[in-house]
């Protein structure tokens, strides 16, 4: 292993692979450390039944190589996990990436040596390498959270977390299964687990809004038509607020008639997917506007779920889209099955896991298996799990004790030559992740190239630029309905985590700002 590198990259998912490629193109030496035994990141770990992307496959793919874009044929409108993993494995082979990746290698610490101007990266097995730059491609949703229910370790059956699913097939036939949580992972897995299990109990703390995916095999002619206009599609998507071709309109729900609203919602419901949220420009700004869309979905739930009481308990009340919108294939329908029981934790929270199952304040449930679909320590979890120390030995954990602080979501003051891909303060989870990742990887690679050209040894965000950026991120979020519920965007799902709205809303504005910063010789960064 080379011990003095230009860069170390942590993680070999979409972000790490693309960053490695970008750095190689510019002639930098880089090594990737990956805790898994293969490439894929999110798509390596999340193998639960039904795992698939909620962004259409033709958009959820790299665009850096027109040849790759042309030659890869997605089989479905929304690709399932195995196909996305195959795609990333193909990318790794096609661009010969594996020779620079160390698998089964978790990074334990990254410490900046001020005298040498190098990052010293230590792996879990104690190996050390030094590099001028350290690039964290650790993922936004890669640090799973299992709530500390009393008695968890006493459970006699099997437990699973959707984000750490085993690599072998799991057979729920004949079993009594409990799924805790009703976010995206639960919404995708519940219909399939219900088909297998003898009895399925869904433990719901907050009902969820989900829009039908209307997934289908991609007809080769349709795929070719999209490929023929790929550059235009990518360009159109880059101008939309989420960097995704949602057919966003300028129309306002509150300036439209009841009939116009209904027509728009119905058309988007029939088309399916995340663009439902972009039907009107005020849906995430005005509560009254949002209510009209939320009520439309609640009406759909009442139309799907036969038992009116059950439909009511499945109907969310929070702002639609405030928690990440889910996309499903038969989620609400699953509750019509005789072998599925909804347990509403708002009436009676979980008190304990027992050897036989689970106990709420009101009842005991006998279970053979428990699936934790309880989410992730989003955006900061994977970064703070590494002992990162910058200038003066300051830890990132202490610097971010009151919440993450970054400049553009790529850098943080006090930590020279450290970059984060889709870090807090960047569009990341409020955008189509793949284009966001590519934009970051490209921007960071160019920045490294610039430091080389200009003989710059260190580049570090200034505290002033960071303060201004943090204020701006908050201001943008504060003008929306996003901060109104207990979402993981705010860190609200992790007990004790500071409540800070972490992603930046507005992909096109963000890209423009990053380009301006670069054009002004990295304005807001101090160099030495």
Question: What is the binding site for ligand N01 (CB under 6 A)?
Answer: 53-54, 141, 147, 162, 180-186, 188, 205-206, 324, 327, 345, 350, 373-376, 429, 486, 488, 493
Minimum CB separation of residue 147 from ligand N01 in Å reads 3
513-278-137 Cα angle (round to 5): 45
Distance CA 133, CA 137 (A): 13
Pairing of strands 199-204, 4-10: unpaired
| Residue closer to ligand N01 (CB basis): 111 or 343 | 343
Distance CA 3, CA 268 (A): 53
Distance CA 450, CA 460 (A): 14
Who's near 12: CB < 8 A, 6+ residues apart? 20, 32, 34, 36, 39, 40, 41, 92, 97, 101, 103, 137
Residue environment code for 172-211, b if the CB has 16+ CB neighbours within 10 A, otherwise e: beebbbbbbbbbbbbbbbbbbbbebbebbbbbbbbbbbbb
> At CB < 8 A and 24+ separation, what contacts does 340-344 make?
340/190, 340/194, 340/200, 340/202, 341/199, 341/200, 341/201, 341/202, 342/202, 342/204, 342/310, 342/313, 342/314, 343/201, 343/202, 343/203, 343/204, 344/204, 344/313
Minimum CB separation of residue 184 from ligand N01 in Å reads 4
Minimum CB separation of residue 482 from ligand N01 in Å reads 13
Minimum CB separation of residue 258 from ligand N01 in Å reads 30
| Residue closer to ligand N01 (CB basis): 187 or 465 | 187
| Residue closer to ligand N01 (CB basis): 54 or 460 | 54
Minimum CB separation of residue 504 from ligand N01 in Å reads 16
For residue 258, how many other CB atoms are within 10 A of its CB? Answer: 8
Minimum CB separation of residue 163 from ligand N01 in Å reads 6
Minimum CB separation of residue 496 from ligand N01 in Å reads 13
Minimum CB separation of residue 520 from ligand N01 in Å reads 33
For residue 254, how many other CB atoms are within 10 A of its CB? Answer: 13
**What would you report as the CA-atom Rg of the chain, rounded to the nearest whole angstrom?**
23
| Residue closer to ligand N01 (CB basis): 326 or 418 | 326
Burial class of 496 by CB neighbour count within 10 A (0 to 12, 13 to 18, 19+): exposed
| Residue closer to ligand N01 (CB basis): 11 or 375 | 375
Burial class of 416 by CB neighbour count within 10 A (0 to 12, 13 to 18, 19+): buried
SS3 175: coil
| Residue closer to ligand N01 (CB basis): 350 or 384 | 350
Who's near 177: CB < 8 A, 6+ residues apart? 193, 197, 199, 200, 201, 367, 368, 369, 370, 371
SS3 8: strand
Token duo for residue 393: 């030995």
| Residue closer to ligand N01 (CB basis): 228 or 348 | 348
What number of CA atoms fall less than 13 Å from residue 370's CA on the CB side?
Answer: 27
| Residue closer to ligand N01 (CB basis): 38 or 503 | 503
Minimum CB separation of residue 48 from ligand N01 in Å reads 8
Residue with tokens 């490439």: 39
Minimum CB separation of residue 433 from ligand N01 in Å reads 9
In the bound complex, which residue of the shown chain has the CB atom lying closest to ligand N01? 183
| Residue closer to ligand N01 (CB basis): 488 or 525 | 488
| Residue closer to ligand N01 (CB basis): 102 or 208 | 208
| Residue closer to ligand N01 (CB basis): 190 or 465 | 190
343 touches 179 (CB < 8 A):
no
| Residue closer to ligand N01 (CB basis): 375 or 435 | 375
Strand partners, 244: none
Minimum CB separation of residue 50 from ligand N01 in Å reads 9
Token duo for residue 156: 């006699």
Burial class of 122 by CB neighbour count within 10 A (0 to 12, 13 to 18, 19+): middle
Minimum CB separation of residue 146 from ligand N01 in Å reads 9
| Residue closer to ligand N01 (CB basis): 28 or 165 | 165
Token duo for residue 331: 């989620």
Minimum CB separation of residue 368 from ligand N01 in Å reads 20
């Amino acid at each position: 292993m080379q011990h003095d590198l230009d860069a170390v990259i942590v993680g070999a998912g979409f972000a790490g692979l693309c960053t490695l490629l970008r750095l190689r193109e510019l002639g930098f030496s880089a090594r990737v450390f990956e805790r898994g035994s293969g490439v894929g990141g999110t798509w390596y770990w999340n193998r639960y039944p039904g795992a698939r992307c909620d962004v259409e496959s033709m958009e959820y793919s790299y665009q850096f190589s027109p040849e790759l874009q042309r030659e890869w044929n997605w089989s479905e409108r929304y690709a399932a996990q195995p196909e996305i993993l195959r795609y990333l494995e193909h990318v790794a082979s096609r661009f010969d990436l594996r020779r620079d990746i160390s698998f089964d290698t978790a990074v334990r610490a990254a410490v900046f040596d001020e005298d040498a101007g190098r990052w010293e990266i230590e792996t879990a097995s104690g190996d050390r390498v030094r590099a001028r730059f350290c690039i964290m491609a650790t993922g936004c949703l890669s640090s799973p959270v299992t709530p500390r229910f009393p008695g968890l370790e006493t459970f006699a059956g099997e437990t699973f977390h959707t984000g750490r699913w085993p690599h072998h097939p799991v057979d729920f036939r004949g079993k009594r299964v409990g799924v805790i949580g009703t976010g995206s992972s639960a919404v995708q897995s519940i219909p399939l687990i219900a088909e297998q299990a003898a009895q399925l109990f869904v433990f719901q703390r907050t009902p969820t809004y989900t829009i039908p995916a209307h997934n289908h095999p991609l007809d080769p002619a349709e795929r070719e038509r999209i490929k023929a206009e790929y550059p235009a599609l990518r360009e159109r998507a880059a101008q939309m607020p989420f960097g995704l071709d949602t057919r966003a309109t300028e129309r306002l729900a509150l300036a439209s008639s009841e009939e116009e609203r209904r027509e728009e919602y119905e058309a988007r419901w029939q088309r399916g997917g995340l663009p439902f949220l972009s039907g009107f420009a005020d849906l995430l700004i005005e509560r009254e506007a949002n209510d009209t869309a939320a009520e439309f979905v609640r009406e759909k739930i009442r139309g799907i779920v036969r038992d009116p009481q059950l439909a009511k308990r499945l109907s969310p009340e929070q702002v639609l889209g405030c928690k990440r919108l889910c996309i499903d294939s038969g989620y609400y329908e699953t509750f019509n099955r005789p072998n599925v029981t909804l347990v509403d934790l708002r009436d009676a929270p979980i008190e304990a896991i027992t050897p036989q199952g689970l106990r709420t304040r009101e009842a005991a449930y006998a279970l053979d298996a428990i699936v934790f679909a309880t989410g992730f320590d989003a955006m900061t979890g994977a970064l703070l799990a590494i002992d990162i120390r910058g200038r003066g030995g300051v830890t990132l954990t202490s610097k971010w004790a009151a919440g993450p602080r970054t400049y553009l979501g790529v850098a943080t003051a006090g930590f020279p030559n450290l970059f984060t891909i889709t870090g807090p303060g960047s569009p990341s989870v409020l955008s189509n992740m793949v284009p966001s990742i590519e934009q970051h990887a490209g921007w960071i690679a160019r920045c490294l190239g610039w430091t080389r050209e200009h003989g710059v040894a260190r580049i570090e965000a200034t505290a002033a630029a960071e303060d201004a950026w943090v204020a701006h991120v908050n201001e943008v979020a504060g003008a929306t309905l996003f901060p109104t519920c207990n979402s993981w965007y705010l860190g609200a799902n992790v007990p004790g985590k500071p409540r800070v709205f972490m992603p930046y809303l507005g992909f096109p504005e963000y890209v423009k700002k990053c380009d301006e910063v670069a054009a002004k010789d990295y304005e807001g960064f101090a160099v030495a």
